[in-house]
Amino acid sequence: MGILKQIAEYLYIKRDKSKPKPSLYIRMMHGMNRISIIVFLIALLILLYRWIFK
Domains of the chain by residue range? 2-52
Q: What integer pLDDT is reported at residue 44 of this predicted model?
A: 94
CB 10 within 8 A of CB 33: yes
Q: What is the pTM of this model?
A: 0.62
pLDDT digit string, tens, across residues 1-51: 678 777 776 666 666 677 787 788 988 888 898 899 889 999 999 999 999
d(CA 16, CA 30): 14
User: Which ranges of the chain would DSSP assign to H, the alpha helix?
Assistant: 2-10, 24-52
The predicted structure's pLDDT at residue 43: 96
